[in-house]
Amino acid sequence: MPKLSSRGNLMPASPIRKLVPYAEAAKKKGKKVYHLNIGQPDIRTPETALYAIKNYSENVIEYSHSAGNESYRRGLAEYYQDLGIQVDHTQIMITTGGSEAILFAFLATMNPGDEVIVPEPYYTNYSGFAMEAGVNVVPITSSIETGFALPDITEFEKVITERTKAIIICNPNNPTGYLYSEEELLKLRDLVLKHDLYIFADEVYREFVYDGLKHVSVLQLEGLEKHAILFDSVSKRYSMCGVRTGALVTRNKEVYLTALKYGQARLSPPSIGQVAGEAALGTPKSYFAEVYQEYINRRDFVIDALNKIEGVYAPKPKGAFYAVIKLPVESAEEFCQWLLEDFSYEGETVMLAPASGFYATEGLGRDEARIAYVLNIGDLKKAVKCLEEALKVYPGRKKN
């Protein structure tokens, strides 16, 4: 039998989707499963985008430019400018989801064997993209005790080598919900300039920042014109994950043109996705105000409810719609599987994402899980109740 590639064997499985077969089996047994494991909001997609899709009138769905439709890129540039991010359409490349933007940036800027530093826990697919590009991920550990604040900059200095090419952050953060402050970002800026590195910033959750705080983009920091590469997506902003439309944004012309070569190799980003994305730029502010308040309500409810469960600790996220929580169990992965295979409360159970898969350092996150508070409060109440009842009877619970 022919062998698989070494790269294929080393490609990490998604911890977010790893337990899907167990969830499917649970549903076949008649259990109701509350999905807190994946960032798929139940928020309605804006009518402007749905209308554009339903009323698409072209007779042929054609390729777009490899960088994306110019009208969409111009509209997106205006969106960024309104946020104080000064870019034009020639600095924006539309991609197949934010995922492709990350992969193209890795491929455009790093050689096999180069290193990218990332605060952990981090969005697990960074590891997959790094593997595809032959890049090594170097983690810097943040702690649940500090709410996953940026580690001290001296920790970054300790791991910088001649192979280090970039630092990647997600702000607001997936999986922790942490929002990096301007002060933290300026420290990263100074480090990047000192060592002549790239800084990749995954900013897909910028609309979801709470408690009167402000999101600061790396493209707003002076001095990073040649160093900063921004990743973006319509998936969460407009609750339309399935259109797979993202963007790579940079003022570095060489990086842009190199990424465009990869874009030409895949021909074009999704045409219908761009139609939806461009139409979504006209979403009324009232939509965001309503969605924002809904996420505030969900966050406040679920964090408060989780912290009332004996042995559970959940730091309050400052952004996005995720939290990494500590559980009173020896192995969160075993507990999450047990929830689906062996437990139900009134015919229902809950699906979480074990947090160990969001760490690169072996052994970390064993008693942690990521939750995505993307369900309505009625469902969140039932999901938290399932978790509370499960921990009362789970045989692998930590002894006090």
CATH number assigned to the domain comprising residue 343: 3.90.1150.10
Residues 95 and 120 in one domain: yes
Give pLDDT, residue 84: 96
Residues 211 and 357 in one domain: no
Q: CB atoms < 10 A from the CB of 334, how many?
A: 15
Tell the burial category of 377 from Cβ atoms under 10 Å away from its Cβ (0-12, 13-18, 19+).
Answer: middle
Give pLDDT, residue 400: 65
Give pLDDT, residue 333: 94
Give pLDDT, residue 85: 97
Q: Which two tokens stand for residue 389?
A: 């009842």
Residues 389 and 375 in one domain: yes
| Contact yes or no for 345/394 (Cβ under 8 A) | no
Q: Residue 40 — φ and ψ, nearest 5°? A: -110, 95
Residues 136 and 168 in one domain: yes
- Return the SS3 of 218: helix
Is 309 inside a domain boundary? yes
Residues 35 and 57 in one domain: no
Residues 11 and 51 in one domain: no
Is 1 inside a domain boundary? no
pTM for this prediction: 0.94
Q: Residue 34 — φ and ψ, nearest 5°? A: -90, 115
DSSP 46: P
Q: Which two tokens stand for residue 221?
A: 């920091």
Give pLDDT, residue 18: 79
Is 400 inside a domain boundary? no
Residues 244 and 321 in one domain: no
Q: Which of 280, 296, 322 is the last residue of a domain?
A: 280
Residues 211 and 160 in one domain: yes
Ordered per-residue pLDDT tens for the chain, 400 residues: 898 888 888 887 777 677 899 999 999 999 999 999 988 889 999 999 999 999 999 999 999 999 999 999 999 999 999 999 999 999 999 999 999 999 999 999 999 999 999 999 999 999 999 999 999 999 999 999 999 999 999 999 999 999 999 999 999 999 999 999 999 999 999 999 999 999 999 999 999 999 999 999 999 999 999 999 999 999 999 999 999 999 999 999 999 999 999 999 999 999 999 999 999 999 999 999 999 999 999 999 999 999 999 999 999 999 999 999 999 999 999 999 999 999 999 999 999 999 999 999 999 999 999 999 999 999 999 999 999 999 999 998 887 6
| Contact yes or no for 147/315 (Cβ under 8 A) | yes
Is 16 inside a domain boundary? yes
Q: Would you give the distance in Å from CA 45 to the centre of its chain? A: 19
Is 270 inside a domain boundary? yes
| Contact yes or no for 37/124 (Cβ under 8 A) | no
Q: State the residue range of the domain holding 143.
A: 47-280
CA distances in angstroms from 384 to 44, 331, 350, 388, listed in the order given: 23, 19, 8, 6
Residues 360 and 345 in one domain: yes
Write out pLDDT tens, residues 197-245: 999 999 999 999 999 999 999 999 999 999 999 999 999 999 999 999 9
Q: Which two tokens stand for residue 204?
A: 């897909």
Residues 350 and 253 in one domain: no
Is 398 inside a domain boundary? no
Query: Total structural domains in the chain?
Result: 2
Residues 99 and 159 in one domain: yes
Domain CATH for 231? 3.40.640.10
Is 189 inside a domain boundary? yes
Q: Which of 280, 307, 333 is the last residue of a domain?
A: 280
* Beta-bridge partner residues of 201: 169, 230
Is 123 inside a domain boundary? yes
Residues 119 and 220 in one domain: yes
Q: Which of 280, 295, 330 is the last residue of a domain?
A: 280
| Contact yes or no for 120/141 (Cβ under 8 A) | yes
